[in-house]
Structure 1
Amino acid sequence: MRAILPAAALLLLFTAPALAQSAADTPPAGSADGFDADTVTVGVAAAYLSDYEGSNDYRVVPAPAAIGSISGYAFQVLGNRVSVDLIRNQAGPTWDLQAGPIAVLNFNRSNTKSIDDRRVKALGEVNTAYEVGGFVGVGKTGVLTSPYDRLAVSVSYRYDVGNAHESGIWQPTVSYFTPLSQKAAVGIFASGERAAGKYARTYFSVSPQQSLASGLPVYNARGGWKNWSLGVAGTYVLSGDLLHGWKAVGGVNYRRLLNDYADSPLTSIAGSRTQWLGAVGVAYTF
């Protein structure tokens, strides 16, 4: 993948099958087939996303994923993002505290071959960003529709430890998941990102030299709230049930760039402040 996938969208897309371990009529906790049993879901989707952050050109890329829970500790490998919850999950309708490390490979504009717009190509490539950090959150099972739906709130922070943008990003997220039956489930989420000044300058500014090369006007972007997004994802069982077997997964995410990120020539002239992500794939839960 040459660009960073919207993490919340991909997370919801592939966690729908795995979260369903608490969404069916399972045996009591502690039994071999119950909530406490180890579970792993692997999958792959075809994701339709913009060439770069702020682009109005789109392409299709593969989006692999593997998520699960081992001895009550949850992990997620979602495309270019990895996280581990170091607080052990508890069985049944209860509160769930979350905290742990995250790491993201940000490929935004790291390869001009994947960018169609000649003006943005002329700006040159940006090094891949190695963003590491952590997250904290809280979730509650059994909220609205049944003892098995789930509402979660979290906030993460990650910092580029490489030599790309060398700055930090805050990301609050709210998500809600509910089973519709033992064969289907759906989830929705809202998220936002606030990035520091170096991030804005790296990806959204245009220097005098870049202006001469690209024809885009000189622009000095400042940090602040970068975007907000809304998304929905769902899963339908192809064999077995929500706890085991094959599932079809799909989702769509709408993201809106804000402030200097929206006003940048890369967005306002060469691209669009409106960003979409669509994905369709399959997953298998062990």
Structure 2
Amino acid sequence: MRLTLRCLALTAAALIALPAAAQDTTPQPEIATGGDSLTVAVGVATLPTFEGSGKNRVIPAALIRGSVSGINFSTRGAQLFVDLVPNDAGPGYDFQLGPVVGANFDRTRRKTIDNVRVAALGERDTAIEVGGYAGLSRTGVITSDYDTLGASVSYVQDVNKAHKSYVITPQIDYGTPLSRKAYVGLSANAAYVGGEYADTYFSVTPAGSLLSTLPTYNAGKGWKNYSVTAIGTYALTGDLLHGLSLVAGASYSRLLGDFADSPIVSIAGDRNQFLGAVGLAYTF
């Protein structure tokens, strides 16, 4: 039961994660081992038109998540996580370790940027981000034998010379079934980024200032944002173990420090970022 419950509940989180093809801003406890499984979800998500934007747009969202021969995998936005550790660390515990590969599409298409001044700064190249993650979760903590508390950290590095930097994301997650049909989860995380990442997406050069009328600005490395997310899953056919489910979630993220003070955010956008998603998932 633990495997399928996590698959269904985290579908909402992964749908919300689509806006963060640029960043990790959603919960990601790992799928526990215990048999082959596959969850496929489709839906719609609302997300900022660029990181730091004050306006949202609606886009399609999808994910695939599962486990084959003890190897767990999941997509989260434009990232793929693979857990290469098939065995639990002990009774009730699950240790996760494996690679992460993904892409950052933030501001790569001028027509998706709703602000003319930010659009005048030009498009960014797509960043290909590669790295890894590690985590530890415990099942049967507070409310039942099936609730789960977990913590993890991921590290990715751009290998495509788009932002030429790194993103480190620690996070903590909690989820619990309310019945055989309903499941809810909460998560909190933060992102620490390198200086070249800050320059690429939050600095304004003298040339960029002339084109956009935004003041020049030099952003430095540091904690970029924190996020809190709530998700829910409700089985429409059968129960949470198999079949069709409705998934939904909402996330709030707040930009910090140099990133919030950037004119791209403080003048042309908003440090407060709201994300949401709703969709249908089927677990085989």
Q: TM-score, normalised on structure 1?
A: 0.89
**Contact 1:92/1:141 (8 A) holds in 2:** no
Q: Which residue matches 2:10?
A: none
Q: Which residue matches 1:152?
A: 150
Q: Quote the Cα distance in structure 1 between the aligned partners of 2:68 and 2:178.
A: 26
**Contact 1:2/1:109 (8 A) holds in 2:** no
Deviations 1:39-81, CA, capped at 9 Å, x for gaps: 1100012110000100001101111100011122210022301
Q: Quote the Cα distance in structure 1 between the aligned partners of 2:56 and 2:37.
A: 34
Q: Which residue matches 1:173?
A: 171
Letter in 2 for 1:240: G
5+ residue gaps, structure 2, are: 1-17
Q: 2:84 aligns with which of 63, 71, 86?
A: 86
1:18-33 residue pairs with structure 2 within 5 A? none
Letter in 1 for 2:205: S
**Contact 2:20/2:77 (8 A) holds in 1:** no
Q: Quote the Cα distance in structure 1 between the aligned partners of 2:24 and 2:162.
A: 19
Q: 2:96 aligns with which of 77, 95, 98?
A: 98
Q: Quote the Cα distance in structure 2 between the aligned partners of 1:233 and 1:82.
A: 20
1:1-286 residue pairs with structure 2 within 5 A? 4=21, 7-9=24-26, 11=28, 36-90=34-88, 94-286=92-284
Q: Quote the Cα distance in structure 2 between the aligned partners of 1:153 and 1:180.
A: 22
Q: Quote the Cα distance in structure 2 between the aligned partners of 1:2 and 1:238.
A: 26
- Between the aligned residues of both structures, percent identity stands at 51
Q: Structure 1 residues 64, 156: CA separation in 2 closer, same or farther (over 3 Å shift)?
A: same
**Contact 2:24/2:169 (8 A) holds in 1:** no
Deviating beyond 6 angstroms after TM superposition, the runs of 4 or more aligned structure 1 residues are: none
Q: Which residue matches 1:26?
A: none
Aligned length in residues: 267
Deviations 1:145-164, CA, capped at 9 Å, x for gaps: 01111011000100000021
Q: Quote the Cα distance in structure 2 between the aligned partners of 1:192 and 1:3.
A: 12
Q: Quote the Cα distance in structure 2 between the aligned partners of 1:257 and 1:115.
A: 18
Per the TM alignment, residue 7 of structure 1 is displaced from its structure 2 partner at its CA by 3.6
Per the TM alignment, residue 92 of structure 1 is displaced from its structure 2 partner at its CA by 9.4
Q: Quote the Cα distance in structure 1 between the aligned partners of 2:19 and 2:100.
A: 19
Per the TM alignment, residue 131 of structure 1 is displaced from its structure 2 partner at its CA by 0.5
Letter in 1 for 2:86: R
Q: Which residue matches 2:3?
A: none
Q: Structure 1 residues 175, 184: CA separation in 2 closer, same or farther (over 3 Å shift)?
A: same
Deviations 1:235-270, CA, capped at 9 Å, x for gaps: 000102111000000000000000100000000000
Per the TM alignment, residue 4 of structure 1 is displaced from its structure 2 partner at its CA by 2.1
**Contact 1:3/1:52 (8 A) holds in 2:** no
Q: Quote the Cα distance in structure 1 between the aligned partners of 2:195 and 2:180.
A: 47
Q: What do you get for the CA RMSD once the two structures are aligned?
A: 1.9
SS, match of residue 201 in structure 1: helix
5+ residue gaps, structure 1, are: 23-34
